[in-house]
Structure 1
Amino acid sequence: MSVRNGGSAVVETLAAHGVDTVFGIPGTHNLELYRHLAPCGIRAVTPRHEQGAGYAAEGYARVSGRPGVVLTTSGPGMTNAMTAAATAYAESQPMLVLSPGVPTGTEGRDLGLLHETKDASGAMDRLVRWSRRVAGPEDAADAVTAAFATFRGARPRPVHVEIPLDVLEQQWDGSPWVGAVTAPPEPDAADVRCAATLLAGARRPLVIVGGGAVDAAAEVRALTEALGAPVATTVNGKGVLDESHPLAVGASVRLRALHKAAAESDALLVVGSELGDSDLWEGRITAQTVIRCDIEPGQLHKNCQAAVALLGDAATTLRALRTALPTSGALVGTYPTNAPFVGTHGPASVRASELRDACRAEARDGAATYEEINLAVRAALPADGVLAGDSSQVTYLGSVHFFDVPAPRRFCYTPGYATLGYGLPAAIGASLARPGEPVAVLLGDGAFLFSVQELATAVDLRLPLPIVVVDNGGYREIRDQQEQRGIPPVGVDLPVPDLAALAGAFGAHGVRTSDPGALTALVADALSADRPTVIHLEME
């Protein structure tokens, strides 16, 4: 390279860690980062807003498991990305945000510099795992390496690195380096044996898996089939067990039918979930005996006290539990109601089917139209496709329960931070993380209009992206809540533009329909189109 400076220290270190795509908007102060992207083989994707860059990076991370990287400029560029960073923190997704900062020695002096921020790193530090302002090019490279180290062997969460403007331009003669991989903790062997004994002896075992188990799908299946235990998931754990599997209860942890089943179980195994309010919707998980597995110590008793706490990576811990179980013959002979999985008609499958039916019936109450819409889209999207949703009723009342997926990392939605405007940019990130694989968006009109500018990004990238927008005239969820409280609707009934015409103005395809049954054909056509297609579904 003709110029090797603080900018190349950052970018070369990104490349050394396998980064091939970054999301961001070039600005006056980050040009020394952009200078080095192409020479290092890194693709720069330009959304139309830094928040969209952050959501795209989150979607990229969610479906690939690789950290999403965001480049912002200083000041408003960084603050625009803060909501996305906070979202990644709430949803436990790996994200690295890189931003320039005021020159060394000018921090906090209120000099009226362009994009001057009182304490950029301090502000971001309140939202992410950590934020670090670096002192020189070598320190910048070290900070990037440290960021990637935090993504391995621990709960993945976002980090931020601030590079002062003078550091970006300082000469650098170093070499990028990759730190040693930190092995995740392994559970105590005695605790594993204790947990295995409790699970093997249970007559009504139940398993709940969360986002911490997304890379342990094979281990979840092996253990639960050995136990003959129904498996429910949180939203972030959706698909860890194929939702068509006879033991799968689906993403049902928020439903009262599941809470009742947990209370009646005599051994509940919770893997990789904090069991927070965003998972339970004001419910509570209790059981006679609770066994929890998590990679983060602070999660092991949070919101539900564990009788046995297993600190460790989900895959490693579940393999150890499976090994510690007695043989299948012992399980069948000693605990006949806790028989291993023996197909669709065995006792474990019947119990799971009954629980799934109860959960589906509860979810269907008041959401039949959203079920119809989701089934129509599901019929068009291939099994390996990814669906991106938003903080829309069609997502959290519909897709969560009625859009079955066969594997983890196939569903983009943020139940914890519940941000609006996530779905479209997240789908763009997912499309780039899985090039050539089908991706679709299903969301409400309010959510779509939060980030409609990213339609231009999808057009630039020529993504064959179906974007199904369910038009219920504004913020339907908040309108419903106002009515429940006896508040006359205010600020929620909003005019919606002709979204098909708007799509055409962006250079995308656009169609309108009022028939949910037409969605299957429209989505199928959009998946083979030469650009994104907005499908405006008008509701009564």
Structure 2
Amino acid sequence: MAAHSSTVGEVLVSMLEQAGVDTVFGIPGVHTIELYRGLAASSIRHITPRHEQGAGFMVDGYARVTGRPGVCFVITGPGLTNTLTAMAQARADSIPMLVISGVNATPTLGKGRGHLHELPDQAGLASTVALWSHTLTDPGQLGAVLREAFAIMTSGRPGPVHIEIPTDVMKLPAPEQAFEMPAAPSLRPSPVDLATAARMCAEARKPAILIGGGAVRLDGAVRRFAEMLDAPVISTTNARGIMSGHPLDVPASPSLACVREMLAASDLVLALGTELGPTDCDMYENGGFCLPANLIRVDIDEDQLARGAKPALAIKAGLAAFIEDMLEDSGTWTPHRSGDGATRAGSLRDLARTEIGEAYCGHINLLQDIWRALPEATLVGDSTQLVYAGNMYVEAPRETAWFNSATGFGTLGYAAPAATGAALGQAGRPVVALLGDGGFQFTLAELGSARDCDADVAFLVWNNSGYQEIETSMVDSSITPIGVTPSAPDFSMVASAYGLASRRVGSRDEIIAALKEMPRPCLIEYIDSGSA
């Protein structure tokens, strides 16, 4: 009997194992079953969502908490199109996501003959949101293609990549290949840029730092840099928690007037790893965000440096390398300072909490109470009242303990699957999904996925009977509200039908009690009477 020759699908799974992939999210279909041939015998855990959009969001949540690329398998055509929304959210927030899809058999591609799941140009469609999309036609190139995918995700600005494999190619024999993860290059700043940055820092008397998602996993370095510069550190949504508990921490949105005033009054602002996007810096779209002329921007993406606020100094470099090089030569830019950075930061924290108003402060107090009850919890949000408030101001206990889809691409239906992915990526840490009654219905069925894998997730539904934020916007614009009150199911009954513990609560104290007492996964529904 001839020895078994491994197929493309089997070798792919082996290479993913060698790359350190421990979880794949996906829904098997007739166009991807060959990818599953070697999966059952592998060490890779497979998670089945209820919808491919859910698969993509699970990958997103998993990647955010682990710092490693998440992987999903999706079928040709509708499987990929269902995943595109999640890929777009990952692109907006620079989340590494590897989407491996099927595509129709090689001889049929581009023929338009109506084959099952056929698209005119599937790779072209994926490339509108993916950093890179590739069709594998040669089994011998599998290793090279996979290395290129990981290289793109782990060097430069991360994001989603796509590999499609024709159904006939999946079955072909493939040479066994050892797979080595590509080394991520360290993009260092030029000596000239470093010298200029050092001079600008040395001359500044009231500097400030604005950090974005590019600073995640650099909390120690950012803290040391901020201390040496004696600068308040303002964090955008995806950077919350990096400076947790530090006297220089200002966990407030640049969309707030008081934050903008402080930045404008600073004689130097360093924007580190942030695109300075409107959903972080101009949430209310009033055009009031303005940075001083003495601005340093550091970003790994050259194109991003050319967008938005024009800096006095644009530095293309990895943020870790920039901070490391600056700290190594800190004697040249740390003259005696007034030491008022912590005082400035403390005053700004007080001003921010005053500005956001009583209702939002109430929401923020609840968020802080959740962390007091569950100190290790990660809070994953959709577009809902608690999340809007927290994006304006929240003191997250650590980096990646707060993230959501209410900024950037701004999709609904994110929190339930992303929370499940986060729980799977960080065993031992509970996750609280913050959901509105409207947005939750986009991916309500993912309760079943959480039950299947016993995800350590509490689904907290903030039920205000519709799309309250949109209704308010309509009223403010003198538009008669319409389409903003979709009926909701009895969420507790739906949760029970999936086998989840559930509880309906009427007060914030009851929310905290339920979070402490209920076994997870569970669902807690809070009815917002409008008085909070």
Q: Shared fold (TM-score greater than 0.5)? A: yes
Residue type of the alignment partner of 1:412: F
What do the CA deviations read for 1:289-341 (whole angstroms, capped 9, x no partner)?
1011111111224211111222211111012122333379x622xx42xx3xx
Give the Cα–Cα distance (whole angstroms) in 2 for the partners of residues 187 and 231 of structure 1: 22
Q: Higher mean Cα deviation, 495-504 or 88-97? A: 495-504
Residue of structure 2 equivalent to 1:36 = 38
1:286 is the counterpart of 2:284? no
Give the Cα–Cα distance (whole angstroms) in 2 for the partners of residues 173 and 444 of structure 1: 49
Q: Higher mean Cα deviation, 173-182 or 431-440? A: 173-182
Give the Cα–Cα distance (whole angstroms) in 2 for the partners of residues 108 and 361 of structure 1: 59
1:331 is the counterpart of 2:335? yes
Q: Secondary structure at the match of 2:35?
A: helix
2:219 equivalent among 217, 220, 224: 217
1:241–1:2: structure 2 CA closer, same or farther, 3 Å change rule? farther
Residue of structure 2 equivalent to 1:261 = 262
- The CA deviation at 1:402 is 4.7
Residue of structure 1 equivalent to 2:449 = 457
1:409 equivalent among 378, 396, 400: 400
> Contact between 2:514 and 2:524, CA under 8 Å: does it hold in 1?
yes
- The CA deviation at 1:152 is 2.1
What do the CA deviations read for 1:3-53 (whole angstroms, capped 9, x no partner)?
511112322221121111000001111011111113231111001000000
What do the CA deviations read for 1:161-208 (whole angstroms, capped 9, x no partner)?
010011000111231422541413100112112212211221110000
> Contact between 2:353 and 2:361, CA under 8 Å: does it hold in 1?
no
Residue type of the alignment partner of 2:202: A
Residue type of the alignment partner of 1:308: L
1:180–1:538: structure 2 CA closer, same or farther, 3 Å change rule? closer
2:324 equivalent among 319, 326, 351: 319
> Contact between 1:293 and 1:311, CA under 8 Å: does it hold in 2?
yes
1:484 is the counterpart of 2:485? no
- The CA deviation at 1:349 is 1.2
Residue of structure 2 equivalent to 1:533 = 522
> Contact between 1:272 and 1:294, CA under 8 Å: does it hold in 2?
yes
Residue type of the alignment partner of 1:375: Q
> Contact between 1:9 and 1:137, CA under 8 Å: does it hold in 2?
no
- The CA deviation at 1:121 is 0.7
Q: Secondary structure at the match of 1:443?
A: strand
Unaligned runs of 5+ in 1: 340-346
> Contact between 1:290 and 1:306, CA under 8 Å: does it hold in 2?
yes
Give the Cα–Cα distance (whole angstroms) in 1 for the partners of residues 492 and 394 of structure 2: 25
Give the Cα–Cα distance (whole angstroms) in 1 for the partners of residues 25 and 246 of structure 2: 37
Residue of structure 1 equivalent to 2:512 = 520
Q: Higher mean Cα deviation, 433-442 or 169-178? A: 169-178
Residue type of the alignment partner of 2:268: A
1:70 equivalent among 53, 67, 72: 72
1:204 is the counterpart of 2:211? no
What do the CA deviations read for 1:249-280 (whole angstroms, capped 9, x no partner)?
00422222111111110010110011011111
Residue type of the alignment partner of 1:45: I
Give the Cα–Cα distance (whole angstroms) in 1 for the partners of residues 31 and 107 of structure 2: 17
Residue of structure 1 equivalent to 2:391 = 400
> Contact between 2:419 and 2:433, CA under 8 Å: does it hold in 1?
yes
Matches within 5 A, 1:135-534: 135-242=137-244, 244-280=245-281, 281=283, 282=285, 283-326=288-331, 331-332=335-336, 335-336=337-338, 339=339, 347-364=340-357, 366-382=359-375, 384-397=376-389, 399-414=390-405, 415-526=407-518, 529=519, 531-534=520-523
RMSD of equivalent CA atoms: 1.7
Q: Secondary structure at the match of 2:239?
A: coil
Percent of aligned pairs with the same residue? 37
- The CA deviation at 1:405 is 1.6
- The CA deviation at 1:2 is 4.5
- The CA deviation at 1:401 is 4.0
Residue of structure 2 equivalent to 1:97 = 99
Residue type of the alignment partner of 1:262: L
Give the Cα–Cα distance (whole angstroms) in 2 for the partners of residues 51 and 499 of structure 1: 21
Q: Secondary structure at the match of 2:106?
A: coil
2:125 equivalent among 112, 116, 123: 123
Unaligned runs of 5+ in 2: none
Residue type of the alignment partner of 2:254: V
Residue type of the alignment partner of 1:170: L
Give the Cα–Cα distance (whole angstroms) in 2 for the partners of residues 2 and 483 of structure 1: 67
1:182–1:372: structure 2 CA closer, same or farther, 3 Å change rule? closer
- The CA deviation at 1:73 is 1.1
Give the Cα–Cα distance (whole angstroms) in 2 for the partners of residues 463 and 7 of structure 1: 28
- The CA deviation at 1:393 is 2.3
Q: Secondary structure at the match of 2:41?
A: helix
Residue type of the alignment partner of 1:294: D
Q: Higher mean Cα deviation, 175-184 or 270-279? A: 175-184
1:512–1:179: structure 2 CA closer, same or farther, 3 Å change rule? closer
Residue type of the alignment partner of 2:266: S
Give the Cα–Cα distance (whole angstroms) in 1 for the partners of residues 192 and 511 of structure 2: 54
- The CA deviation at 1:141 is 3.2
Q: Secondary structure at the match of 1:22?
A: strand
Residue type of the alignment partner of 1:404: E
Q: Higher mean Cα deviation, 419-428 or 278-287? A: 278-287
> Contact between 1:253 and 1:259, CA under 8 Å: does it hold in 2?
yes
Give the Cα–Cα distance (whole angstroms) in 1 for the partners of residues 480 and 319 of structure 2: 48
Give the Cα–Cα distance (whole angstroms) in 2 for the partners of residues 124 and 272 of structure 1: 26
Give the Cα–Cα distance (whole angstroms) in 2 for the partners of residues 27 and 121 of structure 1: 19
Q: Secondary structure at the match of 1:331?
A: coil
> Contact between 2:293 and 2:312, CA under 8 Å: does it hold in 1?
no
1:172–1:158: structure 2 CA closer, same or farther, 3 Å change rule? same
Residue type of the alignment partner of 1:197: R
Give the Cα–Cα distance (whole angstroms) in 2 for the partners of residues 174 and 507 of structure 1: 43
- Taking structure 2 as the reference length, the TM-score comes to 0.95
Give the Cα–Cα distance (whole angstroms) in 1 for the partners of residues 500 and 270 of structure 2: 47
Give the Cα–Cα distance (whole angstroms) in 2 for the partners of residues 152 and 457 of structure 1: 28
1:83 equivalent among 85, 91, 98: 85
- Taking structure 1 as the reference length, the TM-score comes to 0.93
